[in-house]
A and B are shown apart, each in its own frame.
Chain A
């Protein structure tokens, strides 16, 4: 089970993730993102991981894709409220370093 609850305020968008993000739920991520049609007017997107319980390599792949989407649409990206376990997994693969490098010019 996986869902995204989007909340927007002016040019800021927050995506609240809930459930597990793995090979079986990545289609749900893609479907949910399709509902957010236009990223061009967003300046800051925050992904809230409070209710994300598990992420596998396919889930990490969609986060990587989202970093490239932020680069293309020139919006800043922040990750918030992740558990120690998920933070450790993302830190080992280098996702924070990738985010900071790819989005260096985006404020």
Chain B
């Protein structure tokens, strides 16, 4: 009987491990789509869950010949529950982005679609959505409770400011929209707080200040290089301390 019990436990554990591996593979394939080919500028994105799977989300979608819609988000919590909700976000964004007029409307419609479910599940998500027009270089954007992306220019680094409440707490929300024109060589880093809150062995956080300073030093590189240098810098800083939170970023550069 004991042997049968052990065999059953082993079978269940190996089955669970296999299913977790499958879940990770599915999530990584949903998150690692290649950015669209752009005739100007470059885009690069990545996500690194703290556990096997995570609740961060990023995506980009060409909505017409000139505009690409970008989104980055963070579901409350970590692991399997957050990952399940992340797939809801993706479905909602992919459906909504194809017909919503702009980033503000995209977030409004996503909140309408997800609010009841997230509230019932006692969860929420933060999202930042932006449209980049590759012909005019205009970036329009709206925020649903997400940490503001960083606007990187020759003169310094500043936050992309737009106010809006997280998705899943209040129905019938509207999201104010901001805009700016990206000059040649300027960029925007969209990210989740797993970067700034990554801890080293002494318990210090990577912090916004370190991220600003790093971006100042590496801003001349391509999007792909900037993402890779931020990851390298995080790895050096944390020095093998286990990752606390999911890490996600998208770098857009004109």
Distance to closest chain B CB from A40 (angstroms):
21
Task: Please tell me if B165 contacts chain A, counting CB pairs below 8 Å.
Answer: yes
Once the chains are docked, how many angstroms separate the CA of A95 from the CA of B164?
10
Within 8 Å by CB of A23, from B75, B77, B145, B193, lies: B77
Q: Is the CB of B124 within 8 A of A92?
A: no
B69 within 8 A of A: no
Number of interface residues of A (CB under 8 A): 15
Q: Is B182 an interface residue (CB 8 A)?
A: no
A98 to B173, CA, bound (A): 11
- Interface centre among B75, B122, B124, B169, by most chain A C-beta atoms within 10 angstroms, is B169
Verify B146–A92 contact, CB threshold 8 A.
Answer: yes
- In Å, the complex CA distance between A92 and B163 comes to 7
Q: Complex formed: what's the CA distance from A92 to B193 in Å?
A: 12
How near does chain A come to B78, taking the closest CB pair, in angstroms? 6
CA distance A60 to B197 in the complex (A): 15
CB distance from B254 to the nearest CB of A (A): 26
Inter-subunit contact A94/B165 (CB<8 Å)? yes
Task: Kindly provide the distance from the CB of A27 to the nearest chain B CB, expressed in whole angstroms.
Answer: 13
B169's nearest neighbour on chain A, judged by CB, is A98
Q: B136-173 interface mask toward A, CB cutoff 8 Å, 1 = contact, 0 = none? A: 00000000011110000000000000011110011000
Chain A 58-102 near chain B by CB (<8 Å), digits 1 or 0: 101100110000000000000000000000000011100110011
- For B126, list chain A residues within 8 Å (CB): 57, 92-93
Chain A residues with CB under 8 Å of B76's CB are: 57-58, 60-61
Given the interface pairs A65-B122, A93-B126, the reply to whether A56 lies near B165 with Cβ below 8 Å is no
Q: Complex: how many Å from CA A102 to CA B78?
A: 26
The CA-CA distance from A65 to B169 in the complex, in Å, is: 10
Type the 1/0 row for B200-217, where 1 means its CB is closer than 8 Å to any CB of A.
Answer: 000000000000000000
Interfacial chain B residues near A58, Cβ < 8 Å: 76-78
List B223-254 residues whose CB lies under 8 Å from chain A: 245
With A64-B124, A92-B148 as known contacts, state yes or no: A98 contacts B77, CB within 8 Å.
Answer: no
B105 within 8 A of A: no
Q: A23–B146 Cα gap in the complex (Å)?
A: 18
Q: Interface centre among B147, B148, B163, B166, by most A CB within 10 Å?
A: B166
Q: Are B147 and A92 interface neighbours, CB within 8 A?
A: yes
The 8 closest A-B pairs by CB, nearest first: A94-B165, A93-B145, A57-B76, A61-B76, A93-B166, A98-B169, A94-B145, A58-B77
Which residues from chain A sit less than 8 Å from chain B, CB to CB? 23, 56-58, 60-61, 64-65, 92-94, 97-98, 101-102
13 A/B residue pairs, CB under 8 Å, sorted by A:
A23-B77, A23-B78, A56-B193, A57-B193, A60-B76, A61-B123, A64-B169, A93-B124, A93-B145, A93-B166, A94-B166, A94-B169, A98-B170
